[in-house]
Structure 1
Amino acid sequence: MEAVQKNRQPYTPGQSEFWRVTIALMLASLSIFSTLYVFQPLLPVFTDQFQVSATESSLLMSACVIAMVVGLFILGFSADRYGRAAVMKVSLFITAGTLILLPFTPTFGWMVVVRFIQGFFLAGIPAAAMGYLGAEVAHKHLGLAMTLYISSNALGGMGGRVVGGYVTDLFNWQSTLYIFAAFGLLSALLFLVLFPKERFFEKTDQAISDDLKGMLVHLKSRSMLVLFMMGVLLQIVFTAIWTYIPFHLQGDPFNWSLKWIAFTYFAYVFGVLAPPLAGRVSDVIGLKKVMFTGVTILIVGAALSALPSGTFVLVGLSLICMGFFVAHSMAAALVSKSATHHKSGASGFYLISYYLGVAIGSTAIGTLWESYQWTGVLSVTLLLIILFIFLPLYKDE
């Protein structure tokens, strides 16, 4: 009996199961987020191959992200009813399968359809991973497991962009997707081997309407709405810049190849390293002040990227990544801290607002690119500045 109780204790770093969970989720995160963002540096390739505009090619990003928003709702509910591990396993295998299917699509329209389906299942990992960690890992060590998982999100996004652009420049986009499909399939198989069974999952018969009521409570909170709006604004600016930077750098006065453009995504390293440091500083001066600092750094970076110099563009992109991930992590922490109940519902709404920002920044901003080029894209940062200044932020933290 004592042995059974011991096995039922939440995982700690002293147990191999803790590291099996962490490594499995890191692999899953790398697969999911590299798949989501591998198309971003390839958009100019699709404009040439399928004779579509930059705005139309961005549908390969926005359609996927819109489907993710739907998936966060549906797969999140499914995870609570049928098990989080099951949802994540299905997500990984279908994601790899759609990557294999994409090179065989006959038209650009069908590519968008497959990306939409792919996006729905991409949501399986973010919809279930945090809930699994919260249930299976000891609260004292949850921060370590969560930090490693979230860092893998950023690393996956960076890897998808860098490797995708580099391989496509050397070979073609079909070869790129096959490589990512192989990695996705390997990750899914390793996930099956490494991931322990859920021990604390309890199937719920609670009605979906009751779950929705719990989530909708947060839409009545002014402070929560401000933070959800921050998620949208930050991601619109960040996604717009990274979606249209390949088009900008391919033109005058830069004329960079896709391979060199792909290397600009190494700026994400600053996005991986800055948030843990910002977290420590926020313990001293507060979350809101650090979030404001992050937004300021992002704005300075955007201004530098407007200059016709490759060096200033690279410095600007690095500051944009640093500022964005600092502000985003502080906003997410404020959501978690401010929600006194239905914390998962509050986090869910923040994620939904976050990915809505990705969809808007990918395609809706395309009209600014078509009309005003890079200046038009950067103009969205002005909107961020104005709204950030006038949004009613917390008086107390």
Structure 2
Amino acid sequence: MKESILTNRASETYLERGTKAYRHVSLAFLAAGIVTFANLYCVQPLFPMFAARFHVTPTFSSISLSITTLILSVSLPIAASVSDAWGRKPVMVTSLVTSSALGIIAAVCPSFTSLLVIRALQGLTLAGLPAVAMTYLSEEIAANGLGYAMGLYISGNSIGGLLGRISISLLADHFSWRIGLCAFAAVSLLLSIYFWRNLPKSRHFKPKPADPASALQAFGEALRDRGLLCLYLVGALLMGGFVCLYNYMGFRLLAPPYGLSQSVIGMLFIVYVAGTFSSSWMGRLADRIGRKRVLFANVVLMGGGAAITLLSNLIWIVIGMIVFTFGFFGGHSTASSWVGRRAVDTRAQASSLYLLFYYVGSSIGGSLGGLFYSSLGWPGTVGMILVANLCAMILSIVLIRIPPVSRTGAPSSIRNESSPSRR
């Protein structure tokens, strides 16, 4: 009887869906997702302008994005370890504010080299939010609402990608790309302040002393789990294909026979709305029926969308982008929340490793896609994406055969790990 009372009281400290605190957390992470993706991918529609302004090739212009994702990826484990000692919220707030400030500096860089330096620094500072976000949500949200909260955070990513690309494309076309970067960096700073003011302090965070040996041991445990390793690789493959398509679609549509303007190409990024819906809806669906089936379905959708863009009709290209984006964000939302549920004692390390693979995939896929586009055109680019998706499908099938992690700790029993969200 006494044990039951203690369990009920402990479970009340986790944020349940429908409560005011849960809404505050969800909206704060929606804002954080907007800031992160907007600052990370704001340069993507500007590649043709960088190529013309700084006299560089399309592949080289894409380095302004690849260098940010690469530095971000290798910084994620460091940020996760710092959050174990310093706290989840301080690391995330510092990440958002400093990366927004660097966005303003990027707008006034006089050369492509200086732009790359600032973009590299942004990769370092941006790491603090994604490295900790999944860990914070997994620690603070009740199991039956985790998928939706994670999905809303991923929705913020898609909204940030949408608003950043459209607003910067419009401002670049009518004014300059420098004004576009500066304006959105200022908006990002305001959203960062909103995040700081509205995110509750951690209730379940327990600081750990900085111990490199223990950190390495925790990362080793997070790498030895076969299920987690499959999820890391799925994230890398999906993200590599996603960035590849959006990196070079602008070059394709600027050239004949389409000859679209920068503003019109920027407006095409409104297909990100599909990702905004997909991530939260798929998160709820995964909470109900399990992540295994949902992940596989989204990988198939993403590959199908990429194949549709091979058609020459612009309407079909847009439809393909919608299907592709829907599948990507649904798959990413499912895989990332699955990492948080599968990792028990190494959530921070597992989450940072997932994102390390995720952003390394972005860097490799984004730059490698340029070589395929330059030598084989759009069919070569899509072919690379489909190979990555096929590998992700195989890994999804392997995941179905890997049993769930056995959970015996007190927090597991409190949070009802027998629910479908564990699958």
Provide the C-alpha distance between the structure 1 equivalents of 2:89 and 2:115, rounded to a whole number of angstroms.
Answer: 29
The whole-number CA distance in structure 2 between the counterparts of 1:351 and 1:37 is 16
- Structure 1 counterpart of 2:419: none
Q: Is structure 2 residue 337 aligned with structure 1 residue 330?
A: no
**1:113 aligned to which of 108, 117, 131:** 117
TM-score, normalising length from structure 2? 0.84
Choose from 74, 85, 91 the match for 2:89: 85
How far apart, CA to CA, are the structure 2 residues paired with 1:139 and 1:223? 19
Is it true that 1:40 corresponds to 2:34 in the alignment? no
> 8 Å contact 1:31–1:187 — kept in the other structure?
yes
Query: Residue 229 of structure 1 corresponds to which residue in structure 2?
Result: 233
Contact 1:253–1:308 (CA under 8 A) maintained in structure 2? no
Q: Is the CA contact 1:31–1:184 (under 8 Å) kept in the aligned structure 2?
A: yes
Deviation at 1:200, TM superposition (A): 4.4
Deviation per CA, 1:271-323, whole angstroms, max 9, x where unpaired? 12224444455567653333232222222211211111111100110011112
Letter in 1 for 2:318: L
**Residues 28-72 of structure 1, C-alpha deviations (whole Å, 9 max, x = no match):** 221221111111111111101000001111011111001111221
Q: Matched residues in 2 for 1:188 and 1:390: separation?
A: 39
The separation in 2 between residues aligned to 1:275 and 1:45, in whole angstroms, is 31
Letter in 2 for 1:236: G
CA distance in structure 2 between the aligned counterparts of 1:246 and 1:322, rounded to whole angstroms: 19
2:164 matched to 1:160?
yes
Residues 385-394 or 144-153, more deviating: 385-394
Q: Does 1:355 align with 2:355?
A: no
Between 219-228 and 274-283, report the one with greater CA deviation.
274-283
Provide the secondary structure at the position in 1 that maps to 2:79. Answer: helix
The alignment partner of 2:240 has SS state of helix
> Which residues in structure 2 correspond to 1:141-156 (within 5 Å)?
141-156=145-160
The Cα of 1:380 is off from its aligned counterpart by: 0.7
Q: How far apart, in 2, do the equivalents of 1:153 and 1:301 lie?
A: 20
Residue 291 (structure 1) aligns with: 295
Show the 5 A alignment for 1:243-392. 243-279=247-283, 281-282=285-286, 286-339=290-343, 341-388=345-392, 390-391=394-395
Query: What is the distance in 2 between the residues matched to 1:340 and 1:22?
Result: 22
Q: What amino acid sits opposite 1:224 in the alignment? A: L
**Cα drift, residue 98 of structure 1:** 0.8
CA distance in 1, matches of 2:132, 2:233: 24
Write the distance in 2 (CA, Å) between the matches of 1:294 and 1:206: 39
Q: CA deviation at 1:338?
A: 4.3
Could you say what secondary structure the match of 1:365 adopts? helix
Match of 2:185 among 181, 184, 187: 181
**More off after superposition, 152-161 vs 213-222:** 213-222
Distance 1:375 1:140, change over 3 A: closer
Distance, in Å, in 2 between the alignment partners of 1:54 and 1:209 is 43
Q: Secondary structure at the match of 1:328?
A: helix
Q: Partner of 1:213 in structure 2?
A: 217
Q: Any idea what the Cα deviations from partners look like across 1:124-150, whole Å, max 9, x if unmatched?
A: 111223333344455555444433322
Tell me the TM-score normalised to structure 1 length.
Answer: 0.89
Between the aligned partners of 2:32 and 2:393, the Cα distance in structure 1 is 38
Distance 1:148 1:285, change over 3 A: closer
Unaligned runs of 5+ in 1: none
Q: CA 1:105–1:301 in structure 2 vs 1: closer, same or farther (change >3 Å)?
A: same
Change (3 A) 1:184 1:339: closer
CA–CA separation in structure 2 for the residues paired with 1:205 and 1:333: 27
Residue number in structure 2 paired with 1:395: 401
Q: Which is worse superposed, 292-301 or 143-152?
A: 143-152
| Deviation of the 1:107 alpha carbon | 1.1
Structure 1 residue 176: deviation in Å?
A: 0.5
Question: 2:107 is paired with a residue of what secondary structure?
Answer: helix
User: Sequence identity of aligned pairs in percent?
Assistant: 33
Q: Using the TM superposition, give the Cα deviation of residue 73 of structure 1 relative to its aligned residue in structure 2, in angstroms.
A: 1.3
Aligned length: 392
Q: Counterparts of 1:133 and 1:284 in 2: how far apart (Å)?
A: 18
Q: Please give the secondary structure, in 2, of the residue aligned with 1:22.
A: helix
Which stretch has the larger CA shift, 263-272 or 219-228?
A: 219-228
Aligned CA distance change for structure 1 residues 233 and 132 (closer, same or farther; 3 Å)? closer
1:222 and 1:100 map into 2 onto residues whose CA distance is 42
Which string of whole-angstrom CA distances, capped at 9 and with x for unpartnered residues, describes residues 174-228 of structure 1? 1111111211221233334334444544321151221221222233344433332
1:353 offset after TM fit, Å?
1.1
Q: Provide closer, same or farther for how the CA distance between residues 55 and 222 of structure 1 changes in structure 2, counting only shifts above 3 A.
A: same
Query: Unpaired segments of 5 or more residues in structure 2?
Result: 1-8, 404-423
Shift of 1:119: 1.1
